[in-house]
Amino acid sequence: MDLVGWLKKIFKIEKKEAPSLKNSIYEKKEELIEEIHSVWDYIKLNDNSQASHIAAILGFDEWITMDEILRRIRELFGMDYKNDRSLYPYIKTLVDIGLVETNNVGGKKKWRKRDILIKLEGKKEKIENEKETVKNS
């Protein structure tokens, strides 16, 4: 099972059927709201780990080489790794689970984030309640 299918299964909202009021002239139509979110909004990586550094450095638009990744980590976080190859297993894992794309052109590998979108459907009241709980916490 790939990551996208697994995430769709997690965020799927089950529809429960209420007793229908088809005979009533006062039938109220439920308003469904669709929201689109990125998977990257929900991923929580450990702070100051190599995986969080990679996720902060990679973007959605441009392909970035390992030299550029290391340079950006030095600039943003002020860190130098003793072994530059220690980032490869983290990048490989992100590629294997489908969060990062890889491109091999001219013998140099380049990477970028993959934008995986999730469409959430829900009733207007439920979504507003969820937003309030997020603001309060």
| Per-residue confidence band for 17, with pLDDT thresholds at 50, 70 and 90 | low
Segments in 61-111 forming alpha helices (H)? 66-77, 88-96
Task: Record the pTM.
Answer: 0.63
29 pLDDT band, cuts 50/70/90, is low
Query: Alpha carbon of 137 to those of 37, 40, 89, 130, 134: distances in Å?
Result: 20, 20, 34, 11, 5
Q: Is residue 108 within 8 Å of residue 63, measured between CB atoms?
A: no
pLDDT band at 53 (very low <50, low <70, confident <90, very high): very high
Task: Give the CATH number of domain 39-116.
Answer: 1.10.10.10
- Domain definitions of the chain by residue range: 39-116
Q: Which of 27-31, 38-42, 87-91 is the least confident region?
A: 27-31
pLDDT range class, residue 14, cuts 50, 70, 90: low
Evaluate if residue 19 carries a pLDDT over 70.
Answer: no
DSSP 106: T
Q: Are 118 and 39 in contact (CB under 8 A)?
A: yes
Q: What is the pLDDT of residues 117-133, one digit of tens each?
A: 988 877 666 556 666 66
* pLDDT surpasses 60 at 1: no
